[in-house]
Each structure stands twice: as structure tokens, then as C-alpha cells.
Amino acid sequence: MRSPITWQSVQAEALRRLRAGLWTPGARIPDEAELARELGCARSTVNRALRELAAAGLLERRRKGGTRVPLTPVRKATFEIPIIRLDIEARGQCPGYRLIRQATEPLPKAEARAMRADPGAPFLHLLALHLADDRPFCAEDRWINPETPGLDGADFETLSANEWLVGNTLFSDGAIGFAATAATPELAALLDCAPDAPLLTITRSTRAGPRPITAVRLFYAPGHRLETRL
């Protein structure tokens, strides 16, 4: 009796064909049912094998039009962006939160551009610190549209804007960016690090249809790494 064909061996065979140029860039590969017949395995095995290759950008799946070899290989990586408190808990640490200041201020140009809002418009500006086991984890520098429904009832002394927004606002589209920035004196004091220390910085902006909602910069304490499997 032959041992059953695993998805790993189907994936290896698909990679061999890609590498050998049997499946060429731009061309459509056989469909799942055809590959399953050819390789003598279940269609679900083929599906499992190709799913990862597609997620990694080595194959392109289209709703109609089947699966193709991309013209230029683009690997893809998916990062999960949890609520900061849950991220800290997932690391087995005890989360803490402190609101540093809160004021209505004119929206700076960079944040206005990110949200497609009017620069200079009065927005709620928050600076807060997230802690893990009582040590600085990440500073949250956030702007919120004052017309966001329900905002009047929010108490950012006790609940971070990060968490309030996930639970209370609509979401339609947004952008996220990664960069490295040098700690300003204020951030260095908050994060308990040297001035100019390199900080992994995540910027996010979100809109709900026509309405800008929020723009945030998260500055992670030195040494922070964001990781995912490919």
C-alpha cells in the first residue's frame, strides 16, 4: 500500500515545476481538480499545498481565471495588528496604561494628509503610554476627529483610544506604515531610553467612508520586534 500523498509533497512538486520553468511566469497552471487527478491525491490536498504558495506570492489566484504564475514574484507577509493591551497580554506580561495629555489642537499637515482631512481643523490630540510589566512598551500619539460618534462618552483616562476606537467606530479604509525614527526628548523620557534611540514606528490612519476617524503614531520602546511567519 502506498503512503498517502501529503500536501507538503504536492507543494514541493509545485515548487519544482516553478523552479524548472515548467510553469512559466504569466501562464495559468492546471486547476486543482486536474492536479489532484494527475498527482493521485484529494483536491483538498492540492488546495492546501497551493494556498501557502499563493500567500507567499509565488502563485496568483483569481476568482475567475484560475491560478497563474505571477510575472514578477512578490512575496507577501501578513501581520496581525492586535489591540496593544492584548499584544502585551499575549507576551505573558501585565499591561498598563497611562494618559499623558489630552487637548483639542489644530491637525498637523502629515496627519491631515494621511486621513484626507483638513489641515488645521480642531482634532482631539492624545498622548498615552502603554506599559508591559510596569516598563514602557509603546507611546501612542493620536489624533481623533471630534465628530466621531460616541466620543463624548469616552474616558481616555481609563481606556486607551486604541481600544475604544476598535470597539466603537466603523472602519472602511486606512493605511499603515512602518519606519524607524529617533526618540525625541519627550519620547525618550516616556520610554525611558536615550534621546535619539532608534524606535520602530507604526503609523496608521483610518476613515469611515467620507469621514476621517483617526491618525496615530505608535513609538515602540527600543529593541521591539514585530515578527510573522512567511
State in angstroms the smallest separation of the CB of 17 from its own copies: 11
For residues 26 and 37, what is the distance between their CA atoms, to the nearest angstrom?
24
Contact 123, 145 (CB under 8 A): yes
Per residue in 207-224, is it b (16+ CB within 10 Å) or e — as a string? bbeebbbbbbbbbbbbee
Q: Tell me whether residue 11 or residue 145 sits nearer to its own copies (CB atom).
A: 11
The owner of cell 497580554 is 89
Q: Tell me whether residue 123 or residue 220 sits nearer to its own copies (CB atom).
A: 220
C-alpha cell at 127: 498622548
Name which position in 4, 6, 16, 122 contacts its own copies (CB under 8 A): 16
Q: Tell me whether residue 73 or residue 146 sits nearer to its own copies (CB atom).
A: 73
Q: Tell me whether residue 104 or residue 135 sits nearer to its own copies (CB atom).
A: 135
Please tell me whether residue 8 binds its own copies under the rule CB under 8 A.
yes
For residues 42 and 179, what is the distance between their CA atoms, to the nearest angstrom?
44
Q: Binding string to its own copies for residues 84 to 103, with x set by CB under 8 A, is what?
A: --x-----------------
**Backbone phi, then psi, for 144, in 5-degree steps?**
-125, 135
Please tell me whether residue 198 binds its own copies under the rule CB under 8 A.
yes
* DSSP helix/strand/coil, 72: coil
Q: Tell me whether residue 96 or residue 174 sits nearer to its own copies (CB atom).
A: 174
Footprint of its own copies on 18-77 (CB under 8 A): 19, 56-58, 72-77
Contact 164, 200 (CB under 8 A): no
Instruction: Look at the chain and count its residues.
Output: 230
Q: Tell me whether residue 102 or residue 208 sits nearer to its own copies (CB atom).
A: 208
Q: To 10 degrees, what angle do helices 43-55 and 7-20 make?
A: 60
Radius of gyration of the chain (CA): 23
Of the candidate spans 11-19, 97-105, 140-148, 153-161, the one that interacts with its own copies by CB under 8 A turns out to be 11-19
Q: Tell me whether residue 4 or residue 195 sits nearer to its own copies (CB atom).
A: 195
State in angstroms the smallest separation of the CB of 30 from its own copies: 20
Please tell me whether residue 154 binds its own copies under the rule CB under 8 A.
no
**How many residues lie near its own copies (CB under 8 A)?**
59
Q: What angle do CA 181, 223, 157 make, to 5 degrees?
A: 75
Per CB under 8 A, residues contacting its own copies are 8, 11-12, 15-16, 19, 56-58, 72-83, 86, 166-182, 196-201, 204, 206, 208-209, 220, 222-230
